[in-house]
Amino acid sequence: MEPDVLLKRYSVGDRDFAGIRLRRGNLSRCILTGVDFSRADLTDAALQSTNLQGADLRGAILTGVNLSQADLRGADLRGVILISADLRWVSLRKANLTGADLSRANLANADLSEANLTGAQLSEAILRDANLTLTDLTLAELERANLTRANLTEAYLRGADLTDAVLRESQLLQANLRGANLSAANLQQANLERAILIGANLRRARLEEANLREVAFKEANLRHACLDKANLVGADLRGVSLAQALLRGADLSSAILIGANLMGANLSGADLRGANLIEAILTGASLNGVDLRAVDMSEAILPDGYLCE
């Protein structure tokens, strides 16, 4: 279908364009609110600055489409294919993107607040400076995605895969990352205050200077992670594996490390005032410059292998 034919039909009240083929069509800056583009083939179409509020795009093919600055608030995009699509500055607030494929899509500065991205494919997607506040990313695939400075405040990322993702300076305040895979992810200077990371995999993650105050890390895997100068005040690290982790200059005051595995960890210059290290394993750990006088180390295994009475 040609764009002018579609626009003429829309102008007289037609909204049903399900299954149409509009490859490389230009509908930029048009008003198409409430349109039905379900199962449509819009490959490489130009839709920048187009108003598609409340549109039905279920199962549509949008590979390579330009939707930069488009308005898709409340749109239904379940199962859409948006591989390598241009979605810069797009508004997808409260949109439904369940199961959508956004691999390698550019979503820089996009508004995805309160959107549903459950099970969405976002591997290698660009989400720099994007707004993902209260967004549902349960079981989403975000491997190697770029989320630098993204706002993920109170986002739901349970079971999400963020392997090798970049989250430098991102906001993850009170985000739920229970069981998420963050292995080798870059979270330098990120804010995760009061976030939930219970059972998460953070093996080899980079968390230098990150704000991890009061984070729930219970039973998480932080083996070989770098937490130099991180703020871990009051963090719950019960049963956590921190073997070979770097915690140089980290603030662990009032942290709960009951039963934590710190074998070979480097805690040089760390602040452990008021920390609870009952039954912690510190075999081979480096504690240079650490004041342990106010630390509860009952039944802990000390760096030299001896049991603390």
Q: Which residues pair with 51 in a beta bridge?
A: 31, 71
What is the average per-residue pLDDT within 294-299? Answer: 83
Distance CA 132, CA 154 (A): 9
Is 23's pLDDT higher than 50? yes
**pLDDT attached to residue 298:** 83
- pLDDT tier at 300 (50, 70, 90 boundaries)? confident
CA distances from 279 to 22, 32, 302, 308 (A): 65, 63, 10, 9
Give the pLDDT confidence of 50-64 residue by residue, as tens digits: 999 999 999 999 999
Are 221 and 202 a contacting pair, CB within 8 Å?
Answer: yes
Tell me what the pLDDT averaged over the chain comes to. 95
Are 134 and 152 a contacting pair, CB within 8 Å?
Answer: no
Percent of the chain with pLDDT over 90: 92
Give the pLDDT confidence of 98-155 residue by residue, as tens digits: 999 999 999 999 999 999 999 999 999 999 999 999 999 999 999 999 999 999 999 9
Distance CA 249, CA 41 (A): 55
Is 309's pLDDT higher than 90? no
**pLDDT attached to residue 206:** 98
Three-state secondary-structure class, residue 107: coil
- The b-or-e profile of 114-151 (16+ CB within 10 A means b, else e) is bbbbbbbbbbbbbbbbbbbbbbbbbbbbbbbbbbbbbb
Are 55 and 75 a contacting pair, CB within 8 Å?
Answer: yes
**pLDDT attached to residue 302:** 75
**pLDDT attached to residue 304:** 67
Q: Which of 98, 28, 102 is nearest to 70 (CA)?
A: 28
How far is C-alpha 262 from the geometric centre of its chain's CA atoms? 27
